[in-house]
Structure 1
Amino acid sequence: MLTTLLLLQAAAHSPAVTPKSPGEIVAAAPDAAWRDISPLDLLVLELVNGARVTMRLAPDWAPVHVANIRALAKARWWDGTSVNRVQDNYVVQWGDATEKKPLPQGVVAPPPAEYWRGLGSVWMRALPYRDAYATKVGHSGGWPVASDGKSAWLVHCYGMLGVGRGLAPDTGSGAELYTVTGHAPRHLDRNIATVGRVLEGIEALTSLPRGTGNLGFYEKAEQRVPIRSIRLGTEVTDVPRWQYLDETSAAFAAYADARANRRDAFFNIPAGGVDICNVPVPVRRKP
């Protein structure tokens, strides 16, 4: 009885443990929980004003499209092209506004429809929450992934990189690219090749004036935002090394749980669930 009383008194005087926010969990993640992103998979866009956007490519998910993108970058094909479309709450798109610039030798046009992969070739850390567009969602290799039980595909979350195309069977060469800048347009999943994501600098695109034409395209040539260059990460001398938080780590598990169940001081009622696009894979510059 005395022991129980002492324990109760000790608990009453113990300071309450303040649950960590998702950001605090990520900041405290050990170095062993982070995985390097290969410089070969980086793509660096620079606007004429000096603003830079760094992207990670996904060759395992869209190998032919990514090979095309690398060939276009090596050929300096995008130099002097422009951002041509800024649609509010949707996408920012860039490429050759005339759609007449010849593609470099070696670019496959049109590539195969690399919209999904066989499920047997994909390992996924699944989220335990329902999804409106897929039977299962989760993360694999630093990417947001969905599955129907037969195949798996990259999800159109904020900051993801896609390939502009015309009507099917056109699959887009990779010369026209866009990034998602609004609420996740999941209806595009499995209909367009998703080839990467923005790691840093997306504000250089989201802050651009909205296009006044149909679908957010700029109506006048002087409205378009010129692109100085797009280079592979291996071609840019001062590009940082990047890492993503490994979805197999304990830190990622705690982070995902915290995104679904906010227990830090601001929140009164945890949601008890989370959308795949509200669990973005954390990235950081390598220390």
Structure 2
Amino acid sequence: MLVLAAAQAPAQSPAPAKARSMQEILDASKASDWRTLDPDNTLYLDLAAGRVVIELAPDFAPEHVANLRTLAREGYWNGLSINRSQDNFVVQWGDAAEDEKARKPLGTAKTKLPAEFTSTSKNLSFHALPDRDGWAPQVGFAEGFPAGRDPANGATWIAHCYGAVGAGRDVAADSSNGTELYVVTGQSPRQLDRNMSMVGRVVQGMELLSVLPRGTGPLGFYEKPEQRMPIQAIRLASQVPAGERTRLEVLRTDTRLFDELVEARRNRRDDFYKRPAGHIDLCNVPLPVRVPKG
């Protein structure tokens, strides 16, 4: 009877696999889960305190990025300054001269560019997040950038997440030439989405910008020249000798491993969290960066 009962007892289901932490996921990543920054699409903003590395986004703002490459190759920003640090908002740099005649010449760069608020490029692959968003019909990642998307017309745009880089403009939509760039250093101002030409994101060195003293003038502009942060140089990585480049890889956002990482942050299952959120905001998804092995 005991033998018969044992034979008829249902087999026990194996214990569910323990969810991996973000670090465990990254530790298990393969070389194919990472991508190397393109030197022609990478800007180095060199300050006395160190280097800020910016990945450019030509698929979203091709004319702006082309102009940025020209400005960098011709040394336009070298010797200019960071002129604005607005609390919980942005840091901005460019020519501080208010008189147009006193401003630095643009060289061969274009003086006028079209507004590039969204992209309808067929080459953009979009990797959607599972949760709803208040600012876009759909959100996810396109070419490694946090982005919004409207499936009805195919328009895609870079979201104003922490570290996003945009081109400053005046009231007119097409009043940007790329010389005035800003970086989001505060809580994501998503109301600016589809209102600015977004040119990239900071992948390393945000701490050098976020700690800058806040400007006391309107919109956080520095009121005195000595308050401004001098820019040593802004160059394309391809302009810099290979031995002096900052070697970085960024995690691809179109893989199963990245999906697992998103879920690990969306539903935290470590001992500290007593109730998983079941939701993640686009701008709270981590975008890991590492120094290549070897």
For residue 166 of structure 1, give the secondary structure of its aligned residue in structure 2: coil
Opposite residue 211 of structure 1, the aligned amino acid is: G
Q: Which residue of 2 aligns with 1:28?
A: 28
Find the aligned partners of 1:210 and 1:166 in 2 and give their Cα distance: 22
Aligned mates of 2:292, 2:79 — CA distance in 1:
31
Amino acid at match of 1:118: T
Superposed, 1:46-65 pairs within 5 Å as: 46-47=46-47, 49-65=48-64
User: 2:42: which partner in 1?
Assistant: 42
Q: Which ranges of 4 or more aligned residues in structure 1 deviate by more than 4 Å?
A: 3-8
Deviates more, 1:182-191 or 1:31-40: 31-40
**Distance in 2 separating the partners of 1:103 and 1:187:** 33
Residues 3 and 58 (structure 1), Cα distance of their counterparts in 2 relative to 1, 3 Å cut: farther
**Does structure 1 residue 175 correspond to structure 2 residue 174?**
no
Between the aligned partners of 1:109 and 1:28, the Cα distance in structure 2 is 48
Please state whether the residue corresponding to 1:64 is helix, strand or coil.
helix
Q: How many residue pairs get matched? A: 282
Q: For each residue in 1:228-249, what CA deviation from the matched residue of structure 2 results, as whole angstroms up to 9, or x when unmatched?
A: 1111101223113332222221
Match of 2:288 in 1: 282
CA apart distance, 1:250: 1.4
Is 1:210 the counterpart of 2:189? The answer is: no
Give the distance between the partners of 2:289 and 2:91, measured in 1 at CA.
22
User: Which residue matches 1:222?
Assistant: 226
For residues 102-117 of structure 1, the aligned pairs below 5 Å read: 102-117=104-119
Q: TM-score, normalised by structure 1?
A: 0.91
Contact 2:40/2:236, CA 8 A, preserved across alignment: yes
2:235 to 231, 237, 244: 231
Q: If the length of structure 2 is used for normalisation, what is the TM-score?
A: 0.89
Shift of residue 117, structure 1, vs aligned partner: 1.1
Counterpart mapping for 1:187-266 below 5 A:
187-237=191-241, 238-266=244-272
Q: Structure 2 stretches of 5 or more lacking a match?
A: none
User: Given the alignment, which residue of 135, 146, 149 partners 2:148?
Assistant: 146
Alpha-carbon deviation of 1:27? Answer: 3.2
Q: What is the Cα deviation at residue 106 of structure 1?
A: 2.6
Are the equivalent residues in 2 in contact too, given 1:46–1:229 (CA < 8 A)?
yes
Determine helix, strand or coil for the equivalent of 2:231: strand
Cα 1:3–1:208 change in 2 (3 A) is farther
Which AA in structure 2 matches 1:113?
A
Corresponding residue for 1:68?
67
> What CA distance in whole angstroms lies between the structure 2 residues aligned with 1:245 and 1:3?
50
Q: Is the 8 A contact 2:237 2:245 kept in 1?
A: yes
Give 1:4 deviation, angstroms. Answer: 8.1
CA contact (8 A) 1:157 1:180 kept: yes
Which of 87, 100, 103 is residue 101 of structure 1 equivalent to?
A: 103
Alpha-carbon contact 2:85-2:213 (below 8 Å) kept: yes
Task: Return the alpha-carbon distance in structure 1 between the equivalents of residues 173 and 118 of structure 2.
Answer: 16
Q: Counterpart in 2 of 1:124? A: 126
Tell me if structure 1 keeps the 8 A contact 2:25–2:261.
yes
For 1:226 and 1:101, locate their aligned partners in 2 and report how far apart those are by CA, in whole Å.
16
* Aligned 8 A contact 1:124 1:140 in 2: yes
The two structures, once aligned, show a CA RMSD in angstroms of 2.1
Q: Which is greater in Rg?
A: 2
The one-letter amino acid of 2:156's match is: A
Distance 1:106 1:254 in 2: 46
Same amino acid, percent of matched pairs: 45
- Contact 2:166 2:182 (C-alpha < 8 Å) held by counterparts: yes
After TM superposition, give the deviation of residue 80 of structure 1 in Å: 1.1
| Structure 1 alignment gaps of length 5 or more | none
For 1:229 and 1:109, the matched residues in 2 are separated by 21
8 Å contact 2:44–2:234 — kept in the other structure? Answer: yes
